[in-house]
Amino acid sequence: MNIYSYYFRKGPVESHVPFDPPTREIFSKWLDDFLKIKYVSRYDVWLSGGFLQKKWFTRDVDISLTGPVDPIILEKIMIEAYESAFEKYHLLIDLQHISNPLIHPYKPITYTCLVLEGEPENRPAHHKNVKKIGTHLIQIDKSFPSEKQLKHIEKFGRYDIPPLLLSKRSLNSV
């Protein structure tokens, strides 16, 4: 009997197996699939966070969408993105929709974003001003930098690489 259990959920998409650390090869394959999802072409796709900075170990890839706020379409895109990432590539992504891209140099801000509710992250109890706007889509307020990001900055220095617009530039340019 296995005494260890693992559970991670984003919207209706679940994983019971821990994710592998992201690699450029796996992320590139997932990104190719993601950019083919219906309606993704309406959005700019941004890469940010530890995977882009390459200064510290990270378990996830941070992706932000900017563009029209259409909860029905965004929820469908996010569900399909997580299905592909979890089931096909065993990749942990952190996908959100934000009104404006994060700016560089990174400055402290509070912003509103749309995400899929989930476990253990994105539970309404973890955030302020939570508003359910779809079956699985919630609107939350986030702060940048977060406490985790402040620890990375303290240990490794500031974020050097600005968010990368993936729908316009190649991942190989980083």
Mean pLDDT along residues 123-141? 81
pLDDT at 32 over 80: yes
Residues of the chain with pLDDT > 90: what percent? 54
pLDDT band at 1 (very low <50, low <70, confident <90, very high): very low
Q: What is the mean pLDDT of the chain?
A: 85
pLDDT band at 124 (very low <50, low <70, confident <90, very high): low
pLDDT at 23 over 80: yes
CA distance 98 to 111: 8
Identify residue 69 by its one-letter amino acid code.
V
pLDDT in tens, 56-94: 888 999 999 999 999 999 999 999 999 999 999 999 999
pLDDT in tens, 137-169: 999 988 777 777 778 778 777 778 888 899 655
What is the DSSP pairing of strand 137-144 with strand 44-48?
unpaired
CB 144 within 8 A of CB 109: yes
Query: Dihedrals φ, ψ of 37, to 5°?
Result: -65, 135
pLDDT at 3: 53
Helix (H, G, I), strand (E, B) or coil at 123: coil
| pTM of the predicted model as reported, rounded to 2 decimal places | 0.87
